Structure 1
């Protein structure tokens, strides 16, 4: 039985007519840049996280860059973040001229360990940049209090956690900024690249709005040096349709995760867990697996999709060698890179799909017994 990581064609089949209707209107009006659908999506995303301002941008990567720029972070500043995330989390810090400072992650949640983060704070630290990895939100009050105590910006990388919640907070609504990606494979994905910045402060939100259009406050009047970083109307047209289904889709992911947990509970793998106060949205369902690479190859040979997020921790990426981090410095992140494996997960994943995946996982370990 073939099981894909994510089934976007099946998703599109269910919303085809609504998407075509929105796209047709965009092309009929020829309103492609910063139109009414972008504004609607900005309002919806801000309301979802209980934040006052939403600014549609061109990608999740640019959402991070624009948030950092708006906060005035640049050369000489340090930003503490995780070595176990997608590349853009750290590259955005470098792109604004600041210095990434790594702290290791928690071995259960895979999120940035706040205890280790505290030890990494120096007089040069300007911001904390935790990632709500795979759809599990970091500890809200603890991170808010730490940022407040040291007068630091708190910038959430919520690119994998749209709609996720914890302790009364929604991802993107905890800190000064919440940064999102609408890459097609995300829980809320567009038809290409797209992103969103949520901001708590009106002036900082205005900086993001300006910087996404080359730093212009009005057309051809530039107070800042920004980028071309707008969310286009075509992407917003797709996203406002999908937004109506996000809550249902996230709940289905949680149901499939619960089935995985039930079926794998006595298998020789470590399954993801979430604290009681967390609403995990399972952007990825990531297990820790002995003989990870062999299991990956075994599953793929049987048409069961799987992937490794992430095979090389960021502090060991060649392009970040200038930061001076070496092997063994962040042992939890390094171990996760060696033994984690993402199994198929999407709102279109069926119960039969989950049973098929688990059957092959168990089959792999049975033959090694």
Structure 2
């Protein structure tokens, strides 16, 4: 059996007629930048998420940049975040000249450990940036309490978690600003790059809308130093179609995750943990396994692709060597990164495929 990790082509074929028509409609109008489909998508995202403002942008990375720019993050500021995430989380902090300050992770959820945040706060700290890793929000009550105590802002890196909830509220409504990504392999993906910034703050929303079009207040009048951070009309048209089926896809993802857990529960490795206050959108189904390289090699021989999200914690990446961290500084993140392995995960995995994967493992 040969397994498809994300089944993107399968999903396209499911919605092909509607997607092709939506794309053709944009081509016929040739309104490629900030066409009406952009506003249509933002309206639908606000309705789906419950957030007051959804502002589309060029990517999940752009979303993080826009969020920090809106809050005035600049050189010399410090942003507290996790070392166990995709590099964009900390890369964008450094790109603005601010300093990423890492905090080790919770051993069960793999999200930032709130109990270790307070000791890292200094007079230069401006933002706490938790990541909803693999589709599950962090412990937001604890994080928000710390932010309130020290008058800090909270930006949610929800690149993997659009549609997840914390105590019944979507993670698009958490913190001061929340972001997500529409990278094709995400639970809700477009056919290229795309992202969204969510906020319930009217002032921040207006600033973000300006920042994504080079800081314009009106055409050729620039209030801020901004960026070209718009989401293409074509990509918005694609997500407009896919969003109609997203709740159904999320339910299927839950079912796939439950079937994985049932099939693998007697095995000798660590399965994913979901806090009872949260729901996960299962961007990944990741297990921890001791002999990862050997297992990955054997599974590949049997037609089963795997991935490692992520093999090197950020504090050990060469690009962050200037921060002065060393091996052993964040032992839980380091251990998890040496053991974590993601299995094929998408809404369309069949029972037969899940059983086959479990058997081969």
Give the shorter-chain TM-score range: over 0.9
Matches within 5 A, 1:305-324: 305-324=305-324
For residues 308 and 168 of structure 2, the distance between their equivalents in structure 1, rounded to whole angstroms, comes to: 31
Find the residue that maps to 2:274 and give its secondary structure. Answer: coil
Cα separation, 1, equivalents of 2:111 and 2:176: 19
Q: Which runs of structure 2 are paired with 1:51-200 in the superposition (5 Å)?
A: 51-200=51-200
1:265-284 → structure 2 map (5 Å cutoff):
265-284=265-284
Which residue of structure 1 lines up, in the alignment, with residue 256 of structure 2?
A: 256
Q: State the SS of the aligned residue for 1:172.
A: helix
Q: Which runs of 5+ in 1 are unaligned?
A: 362-369
For residues 190 and 63 of structure 1, the distance between their equivalents in structure 2, rounded to whole angstroms, comes to 15
Q: How large is the Cα RMSD of the aligned pairs?
A: 0.9
Residues of 1 paired with 2:97 and 2:207: CA distance? 18
Aligned position for 1:364: none
Distance 2:97 2:264 in 1: 45
- Structure 2 Cα separation of the partners of residues 101 and 172 of structure 1: 24
Aligned length: 361
TM-aligned CA deviation for residue 116 of structure 1: 0.8
Deviation string, structure 1 residues 298-322 (Cα, Å, up to 9, x no partner): 1111110101110111000000101
Q: Please name the residue that 1:41 is paired with.
A: 41
Unaligned runs of 5+ in 2: none
Could you tell me whether the CA contact under 8 Å between 1:6 and 1:346 is conserved in 2?
yes
Superposed CA offset, 1:268-300 (max 9, x none): 111002122221111000000121111111111
- TM-score, normalised relative to structure 2: 0.98
| Further displaced range: 274-283 or 324-333 | 274-283
Structure 1 residues 103-143: Cα deviation after superposition (integer angstroms, max 9, x where no partner): 00011000001111122111111000000000011123222
Q: Following the alignment from structure 1 to structure 2, what is the Cα–Cα distance between the partners of residues 170 and 143?
A: 16
Partner of 2:294: 294
Shift, 1:79, TM fit: 0.2
76-85 or 44-53, larger mean C-alpha shift: 44-53
Shift of 1:48: 2.6
Deviations 1:307-338 (A, max 9, x none): 11101110000001011111100001100110
How far is the alpha carbon of 1:144 from its aligned partner? 2.0
In the superposition, the TM-score normalised over structure 1's length comes to 0.96
Residue 49 of structure 1: how far off its partner (Å): 2.6
